[in-house]
């Protein structure tokens, strides 16, 4: 891998250090993780979104309140 030196402010370096998950994590890894959020969605993610939108259009959804009730019922069954 080619190495390049870049200049950053001390404030930015401090922010990057805060984002480290371990001391072994490099600044490059942190920067790639940050860039990943702005990259195009993968083909699989696009298919998943389309599928979810299609399900919502067909009315195959559950309201928040319904989901809470389902979870409470499931929790009661597990306790028995």
Is pLDDT at 40 greater than 80 in this prediction?
Answer: no
Tell whether 35 is covered by a domain. Answer: no
Model pLDDT, residue 38: 73
Q: Is residue 9 part of a domain?
A: no
Domain coverage including residue 52: 43-79
Q: Quick check: is 65 in a domain? A: yes
The pLDDT of residue 39 is above 90: no
In a domain, 18, yes or no: no
Contact residues for 38 (Cβ-Cβ < 8 A; gap 6+):
none
pLDDT of residue 42: 82
pTM, rounded to two decimals: 0.46
Q: How many domains does the chain have?
A: 1
51 located within any domain? yes
Q: Is residue 66 part of a domain?
A: yes
Mean pLDDT of the chain: 91
Burial of 27 (C-beta count, 10 Å sphere; 0-12/13-18/19+): middle
Specify if 60 maps to a domain. yes
pLDDT class of 26 with cuts at 50, 70, 90: very high
Q: Is 6 helix (H, G, I), strand (E, B) or coil?
A: coil
The model's pLDDT over 48-66, given as tens digits with 9 standing for 90+, comes to: 999 999 999 999 999 999 9
Evaluate whether residue 23 is within a structural domain: no
- Phi/psi of residue 15, each to 5°? -65, -40
């Amino acid at each position: 891998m080619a190495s390049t030196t870049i200049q950053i402010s001390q404030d930015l370096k401090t922010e990057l250090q805060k984002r480290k998950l371990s001391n072994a994590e490099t600044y490059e890894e942190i920067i790639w993780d940050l860039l990943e959020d702005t990259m195009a969605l993968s083909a699989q993610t696009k298919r998943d979104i389309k599928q979810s939108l299609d399900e919502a259009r067909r009315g195959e959804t559950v309201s928040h309140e319904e989901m809470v009730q389902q979870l409470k019922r499931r929790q009661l069954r597990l306790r028995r």
